[in-house]
Amino acid sequence: MKILMVTAEAAPYAKTGGLADAVASLARELQRAGDEVRLLLPLYGSVEEIYRRRMFPLPYPLAIRLGTVHWARVHEHIEPGGLRVYFLEYQRYFGRDRIYDDGRRAFSDNAERFSLLCRAALDLPGLIQWIPDVFHCHDWMAGLVPVFLETRDRQGPLWRSASVLTVHNLSHQGYADRSILDFAGLPRSLFRPDQLEACGGVNFLKGGLYFANKLTTVSPSYAGEIQAEELGCGLQNVLRFRSGDLMGILNGIDGDVWNPATDPLIPHNYSRGQLAGKALCKKSFYQKYFPAGGDGRPLFTAIARLCQQKGLDVLAEILPRLFATVDIRVALLGSGDRKLEEQLRQLARQFPDRLHVTVGYDEAQAHLLEAAGDFFLMPSRFEPCGLNQLYSLRYGTLPIVRSTGGLRDSVLCYDERTGAGTGFTFHDLTPQSLADAIGWACACYHDRPRHLRAMVHRAMGQDFSWSRPAARYRDCYRWALESKRGSG
């Protein structure tokens, strides 16, 4: 099958979170298994020189047929595994370093920027003489692709191409004034409450959800949750309307990048059968960050974008009380909300022997925290899939998670009687429930080390490779093609 992935992020070229990892590793897995996959993303100012050096400009410029024609340059890079990556160069929109915001506020022209990306996806096939069977669109940034496909491009060279839209995070939807329809060259008649209109404006994600042939989201639980009011973010009705076309497929992880046996970013490698290296990772972490000591004390780690979704504000709230009652060490890595960043820094100053905080984005530190920890904290308010808990399972760092979305689908709660489980789960995101879950993990660490070891062993043996999810995406593509061509 020929698949064009349309995305705002793909690792390692441009990344703010799990979207980049998920899209790129799915694309590589499908390509490895024999499909012909290509990927389109913007060439941001921040794409590093080492990648730029490997790309070649296509010989002709791309005419992007929005309301008016915009000319762009497309650069191609062919990865060693054969995946072709197209970078869309359009200085005015993508020349800046950051992807969505200036560090504080979203760019005011995001709707224009990602309309351009979407339209480029539909105009690129003509330039490269390659018609995809399926456009696989990721999140609202690619939401207009299915809209174009079922309106302006319904007749023409793409009439047999289907679209699949994957929701990685329903809380980001892409709003714009209705004038965006003229900018995009889309008919004004789409401005209807059942199609693109929401709250008086145009909602990109809603349009995609309405027009895509099939929909997926990144875990089975989240597929159910987004159809109800609590996590439906106002789109629960359109999701319920399309529920027969919606699949929940749990993400995989890139086992080459996240493998404790070969990871070059951790001081000691280890595996399920050879765990000595894990203890050494913790030891060197303690020597570096907690020189006052702490051997024998459990280490809790967390890595996250600091935003409402991740629930780390609740952790910050309970830390002083926790430090007063249990002897633990905590190491956090994250950036985002300025207030929370400052609160965490302040706590680290207050408890230097207990808490280490890195504010910023640091790939190497992320790997180190996954390897050195005993427990990994993810008290998310909602979590479509979550990759960090999957990494932590692979690294034998038992996740402590709120039972929601993909966390619920990937972490099996500890059973004290039998010793079963791969982590600790709790239900309500209250300070007390989180403190209880941490206390429970501490008790297991000190009082039932045999259970703990068995859980680590079990966690590390789970298969979260992309092969199974990729096969399900392939089913979904076939299903989308049937519905497109069957009705065509």
Contact residues for ligand ADP (CB under 6 A)? 17-19, 21, 303-305, 333-335, 361-363, 366, 385-388
- Residue 363's binding partner out of ligand GLC, ligand ADP, none, with CB under 5 to 8 Å set by partner kind: ligand ADP
- Identified binder of ligand GLC from the candidate list 12, 17, 224, 267, rule CB under 6 A: 17
Q: Which of residues 360-419 bind ligand GLC (CB under 6 A)?
A: 383-387, 406
Distances (CA, A) of 383 to 231, 402, 418: 10, 9, 28
Residue 304, binding choice from ligand GLC, ligand ADP, none, Cβ under 5 to 8 Å by partner class: ligand ADP
Amino acid letter at 67? G
Q: What residue is closest to ligand ADP based on CB?
A: 18
- Both tokens of residue 431? 């300070």
The answer to whether the CB of 397 falls within 8 A of the CB of 282 is no
What's the token pair of residue 478? Answer: 């076939």
Run of H or E residues at 163? strand 162-167
Q: Which of 214, 217, 237 has its CA nearest to residue 227?
A: 237
Shortest distance (Å) from residue 8 CB to ligand ADP: 12
Task: State the minimum distance, in angstroms, from the CB of residue 386 to ligand GLC.
Answer: 5
Cβ-Cβ contacts under 8 Å for 324 (sequence gap 6 or more): none
The amino acid at residue 375 is F
| DSSP annotation of 328 | -
3-state DSSP call for residue 82?
A: coil
The CB-of-83 to ligand GLC minimum distance in angstroms stands at: 18
Using CB under 6 A, pick the residue from 168, 297, 329, 408 that binds ligand GLC. 168
**What is the Cα–Cα distance from 225 to 389, expressed in whole angstroms?**
19
- Listed ranges 4-12, 17-25, 173-181, 238-246: which one lies at the site for ligand GLC (CB under 6 A): 17-25
Residue 333 interacts with which of ligand GLC, ligand ADP, none, CB < 5 to 8 Å by class = ligand ADP
Three-class SS state of 274 = coil
Taking residue 159's Cβ as centre, other Cβ atoms within 10 Å add up to 13
Q: Specify whether the CB–CB gap between 31 and 83 falls below 8 A.
A: yes
Give the residue with the Cβ less far from ligand GLC, 340 or 387: 387
Q: Give the count of residues interacting with ligand GLC (CB under 6 A).
A: 14
Residue 270 or 473: the one with the smaller Cβ distance to ligand GLC is 473
Tell me whether residue 161 or residue 251 sits nearer to ligand ADP (CB atom): 251
**Residue 6 touches which member of ligand ADP, ligand GLC, none, C-beta under 5-8 Å by kind:** none
Answer yes or no whether residue 75 interacts with ligand GLC by CB under 6 A: no
Partner from ligand ADP, ligand GLC, none binding residue 218, C-beta < 5-8 Å depending on class: ligand GLC
How near is the Cβ of 99 to ligand GLC at its closest, in Å? 12
Q: Give dist(CA 226, CA 314) in Å, integer.
A: 23
Question: In the 8-state DSSP scheme, what is residue 144?
Answer: H
Rg (CA), the chain: 23
| 335 contact, one of ligand ADP, ligand GLC, none, CB 5-8 Å limit per kind | ligand ADP
Per CB under 6 A, the segment of 15-23, 26-34, 85-93, 323-331 that binds ligand GLC is 15-23
Among 4, 6, 11, 22, binds ligand GLC (CB under 6 A): 22
Closest CA to 379 of 399, 358, 356, 354: 399
CB 244: neighbour CB atoms within 10 A? 8
- State the minimum distance, in angstroms, from the CB of residue 406 to ligand ADP: 8
By C-beta, is 24 or 55 nearer to ligand ADP? 24
The amino acid occupying position 198 is A
- Nearest to 88, CA basis, from 72, 77, 99, 107: 72
Q: How far is the CB of 419 from ligand GLC (least distance, A)?
A: 29
Q: Among residues 41 and 366, whose Cβ is nearest to ligand ADP?
A: 366
Looking up tokens 């789960």 gives 425
Nearer CB in complex with ligand GLC: 120/218: 218
Structure tokens at 328: 């633990």
- Is 217 one of the binding residues for ligand GLC (CB under 6 A)? no
43 near ligand GLC (CB under 6 A): no
Q: Which residues pair with 356 in a beta bridge?
A: 331
Could you say which of ligand ADP, ligand GLC, none residue 305 binds, taking C-beta under 5 to 8 angstroms by partner kind?
ligand ADP
Range 429-488, binding ligand GLC (CB under 6 A)? none
Q: Which is nearer to ligand GLC, 11 or 452 (CB)?
A: 11
Which residue number, 89 or 254, has a Cβ lying nearer to ligand ADP?
254
Among residues 110, 161, 169, 227, the one that binds ligand GLC under rule CB under 6 A: 169
The answer to whether residues 488 and 427 touch, using CB atoms and an 8 Å cutoff, is no
Q: What is the DSSP letter of 387?
A: S
Question: What would you measure as the largest C-alpha separation in the chain, in angstroms?
Answer: 70
* Number of Cβ atoms within 10 Å of the Cβ of 69: 11
Q: What, of ligand ADP, ligand GLC, none, does residue 373 touch, CB below 5 to 8 Å by kind? A: none
Number of neighbouring beta carbons within 10 Å of residue 359: 18
Among 6, 8, 10, 19, binds ligand GLC (CB under 6 A): 19
Name the helix (H) or strand (E) containing 190. Answer: none
Residues within the interface to ligand GLC (CB under 6 A)? 17-19, 22, 168-169, 218, 251, 383-387, 406
